[in-house]
Amino acid sequence: MDERSGFATRCIHAGEAPDPSTGAHGVPLYQNVTYAFHSAEQVDAMRAGEAPRFTYSPRGNPTVRCLELKLADLEEAETVVATASGMAAISATLLALLAGGGHVVASDEIYELTRTLLDRDLPTYGGRATFVDASDPAAIEAALEPETRAIYVEPVSNPLLRVADIVAIAEIARRRGVLLVVDNTFLSPALLRPLTLGADVVVHSATKYLSGHGQVQGGFVCGRRDVVGPIREKMVMLGGQMPPFAAWTLLAGIKTLPLRMERHGANALAVARQLAAHPAVARVNYPGLEGHPGHAVARRMLDGGRRGFGGMVSFTLVDGCAANRRFLNALSLCTIAVSLGDVGTLAWPWHGRDLIRLSVGIEDGVDLERDIAAGLAAVETAALVLAAR
């Protein structure tokens, strides 16, 4: 792509061209596993590195490769490896970087399966993890050890949406000679490109915003070739390759990414403000709100919030879990479901906390406001009934 092209143009065109054999517009779905050679000499040239070529789908597939090229362009990465899921991307990255005695400093609030991997599985490979509040760069630096190989953070944490200052953390990582790994799932490259801020590796669960429709699983690892190369090898050994159909579906989903992310962000800000103004709500977590403790950092990282602050909101109700149930049961438009990044709004009660997480969709704002209002009205009515007894 022309480096002057805008982000929306690159979402549509990067990594793609008409099929050279048929002229098909758009990337074909290559489901085949093996690739034929015309001669023994062609095999020799491939093995000598003189003529790169597809050989066997677990090591590379044309549909998947086009998607990898698109993500490399969007994240401004030297190279990208596509994986079967977000956890395949995270697992391959952490095991490649930390096996055999490596130490990682990680956010104390990250995706629960990532936390389990670091807590339970990494030690069996000789690695160790220390967990700190990633919104405090000083705490991250204080936790670094001589054996530390990486820092692992999410720009906005799951589920409390604490903001990590990627620029400040990248400077610490560079100065101390460790790698910074950023999980950019919540924001996507439409809002944040951590490699341009100094991160070394970016991982994604493409299942979420990159797909946008809740119909496919996938993941990505993005970064420099010297760092991502060993991660790709680990992914192949673990059997975590992205299937061609998933790649083909993601190629379609990414084309609308910037449009969707702007609408997610606009709706999420409106919902956050609606919640914050209601007396039944005790606390709202959304970095787009001026009162959020990470708002200033988020504005600086996210281009002043020009394209929004993302679609994730979490909140607590004054009356706790009982109120949570009344709120959720009164919803009709929003779906009670786990995961995030779907075009439809998803609401999920957080296990072990008096917290509801919303993945705000791209519905008409007035309809979302009406549905949230119905949930809050159910909470308020129940509170009045209890007070009258």
Residues 246, 339, single domain; the answer is: no
On whether residue 1 sits in a domain, the answer given is no
Instruction: Report the pLDDT averaged over residues 159-188.
Output: 98
Q: Report if residue 377 sits inside a domain.
A: yes
| Share of residues in the chain with pLDDT > 90 (%) | 90
pTM: 0.95
Q: How many domains does the chain have?
A: 2
User: Does the residue 103 lie in any domain?
Assistant: yes
Contact predicate 270/368, CB 8 Å:
yes
Angstrom distance (rounded) from CA 238 to CA 253: 27
CA angle 154, 157, 160 (to 5 degrees): 175
Give CA–CA dist 2/6, Å, rounded: 9
Are both 117 and 44 inside the same structural domain?
yes
- 279 is in which domain, residue-wise? 257-388
Domain C-terminal end among 223, 254, 285: 254
Pick the last residue of a domain from 254, 286, 312.
254
Q: Are residues 295 and 335 located together in one domain of the fold?
A: yes
Question: Is 152:94 a contact under the CB 8 Å cutoff?
Answer: yes
Q: Is 125 contained in some domain?
A: yes
Look up tokens 């996210």; give the residue: 302
Query: Looking at the structure, do residues 328 and 237 belong to the same domain, yes or no?
Result: no
- State pLDDT tens for residues 320-366: 989 999 999 999 999 999 999 999 999 999 988 899 999 999 999 99
* Residue 67 pLDDT > 70: yes
For the chain, give the mean pLDDT: 95
Mean pLDDT to the nearest integer, 304-308: 94
Residues 161 and 248 occupy one common structural domain:
yes
CATH number, domain of 145, equals 3.40.640.10
CA–CA separation, 354 and 373 (whole Å): 19
270 shares a domain with 174: no
Task: Give the domain-ending residue among 205, 225, 254.
Answer: 254
Same domain, 290 and 207: no
Query: Reduced to 3 states, what is the DSSP secondary structure of residue 269?
Result: helix
Per-residue pLDDT tens over the stretch 194-253: 999 999 999 999 999 999 999 999 999 999 999 999 999 999 999 999 999 999 999 999
